Amino acid sequence: MNPDAYVEMADTEARHWWFVARRSILTSLISGLDLPPAARILEVGSGTGGNLQMLSSFGKVSAMEMGASARSIAARKTGGRFDVRAGLCPTEIPFAGEEFDLICLFDVLEHIEADVETLVALKSLLAAGGRVLITVPAYQWLWSEHDEFLHHKRRYSAADLRRKISSADLRLVRMSYFNTLLFPLAAAVRLKDRLLRRREPSGTSTPAAPINGLLRATFSAERFLLRALDLPFGVSLLAVLQAP
């Protein structure tokens, strides 16, 4: 990821509507996975540590992150309470011989050229009955300057992600789009940025409090929908996987 993006992430992930609402949705999803009481959890690509506290409510959390500056920020934010190691997917994963009940990649796989090989490597770290929880950005036609800034390699359709999962010999337990309620607004903004050839993408800074609160409430409300059904389209995709 662009080093400047780490600084921006650290400044905004505690309050920006997208980060806050995504954590709410992820909390709801993980609550439904029926993890063991002392679950061992690995976050791959933990960035500046915004998800570590949330994940710790479900078990013992370890993490890996390639960016030294991001690891430093995460250590300061969390008081060094978590085991966050340097690592690079798929060739330098620093947890050989360890097993995890849940492995999380939250908007990480799109940064990795060898995405299938990464899934294969992580499969070897799953405990019996362990799951992998993935979120990725959806639809290549939504590609924008924001993807460029974040050094994304691609965006995914459900069919694309399903093929990658199958190629890694992992079993798909569940897949759904999400960030659906705000999809028309997000698509319009991305297309406007493309037409206007904006060098700085819209929507990266935290909006004024009333707007930020409204967007957060709208996006986070999808946690209730996702408890009952899979959503047919959205700005993002989620998937739950198991070893076969």
Nearest to 122 by CA among 91, 156, 159: 91
From residue 215, how far is each of 20, 50, 100, 209 by CA, in Å?
Answer: 10, 19, 34, 10
Nearest to 116 by CA among 173, 168, 163: 168
**pLDDT tier for residue 244 given thresholds of 50, 70 and 90:** confident
What confidence score (pLDDT) does residue 55 get? 98
What confidence score (pLDDT) does residue 189 get? 87
For residues 215 and 207, is the Cβ–Cβ distance under 8 A?
yes
**pLDDT tier for residue 74 given thresholds of 50, 70 and 90:** very high
Q: Which residue has tokens 């993980």?
A: 30
**182 pairs with which residues across the strands?**
none
What confidence score (pLDDT) does residue 200 get? 63
As given in the structure block, the two tokens for residue 110 are 């799109």
Mind listing the pLDDT tens digit for each residue in 103-152? 999 999 999 999 999 999 999 999 999 999 999 999 999 998 888 888 99
Mean pLDDT, residues 4-25 taken together: 84
Query: Which residues in 89-142 belong to E strands, given as ranges?
Result: 100-106, 126-137
Q: How far apart are CA 56 and CA 39, in angstroms?
A: 9
For residues 78 and 69, is the Cβ–Cβ distance under 8 A?
no
**pLDDT tier for residue 6 given thresholds of 50, 70 and 90:** low
What confidence score (pLDDT) does residue 5 get? 63
Q: How far apart are CA 13 and CA 207, in angstroms?
A: 13
Mean pLDDT, residues 11-25 taken together: 93
As given in the structure block, the two tokens for residue 57 are 């409510």
What is the percentage of the chain residues whose pLDDT exceeds 70? 93
Domains contained in the chain, CATH given: 3-242 (3.40.50.150)
**pLDDT tier for residue 2 given thresholds of 50, 70 and 90:** low
